[in-house]
Amino acid sequence: MSTLVAASAANVLVWIVWVVAGFSCLASGVAVVSFSNPFYSALALIGNLGSLAILYLLLSAEFVAAAQVLVYAGAVMVMFLFVIAYVGPRMEAPWAGGPSWQTLGAVGAAGALLVEIVVVISLKAGDSLGTSAAVGASFGTPAWIGRIFVTDHLASFEITSIVLLVAAVGGVILGSHTRRRASETVAPNVVEQREPVGGAR
């Protein structure tokens, strides 16, 4: 009897963590595309990646959850924050100017995902998804994931690295143009302030 009560309490706890992580993932995803300041968007993206890591843990994918935190929420987001700091974030407050079409689109996408989640839960409760696929003992291990990366998904893996490299180079180029434009706007103001002094003499 005590074993059954403990198993029921564990299932309830898993469902609570799943619901909290799911809604946190949706809320942070909406925040990523809604904030006007890119720094706040990057912080919301870190929260989104952390919520995804919790969902991976509930699926017994410990390696993917660790990679989600170490690689994406760690290394990749550090690069994003470096690019944002180099370019210079805009100094607007979050939700400035009222909701935009990005905000409405994000809310619509979140609503569609919520409907999809409800449908999947309904199908699971109705035992329509009760049949599980047969998986081997090596499924989800680092060796299995590494073999998949360098065989079946090698092209997508390399394309992702190229996209990240292009994003870093683009951030550096945008930062150099922003600083050059700022120096060009400051120089005429200095000249205009000095001209009346020369004319007075």
Chain segment 28-45, per-residue pLDDT in tens? 988 888 887 888 888 898
Q: What is the pLDDT of residue 10?
A: 73
Q: What is the pLDDT of residue 201?
A: 46
Chain segment 117-157, per-residue pLDDT in tens? 888 777 766 665 556 667 677 777 778 878 887 888 888 87
CATH number of 1-90: 1.20.120.1200
With contact defined as beta carbons under 8 Å apart, do 45 and 28 qualify? Answer: yes
What average pLDDT does the chain have?
Answer: 75
Q: What is the pLDDT of residue 166?
A: 82
Q: What is the pLDDT of residue 102?
A: 67
Scored b (16 or more CB within 10 A) or e, 153-171 reads eeeeeeeeeeeeeeeeeeb
Q: Would you place residue 186 in the very low, low, confident or very high pLDDT band (cuts 50, 70, 90)?
A: low
Domain boundaries, the chain: 1-90, 153-201
For residue 89, is pLDDT > 60?
A: no
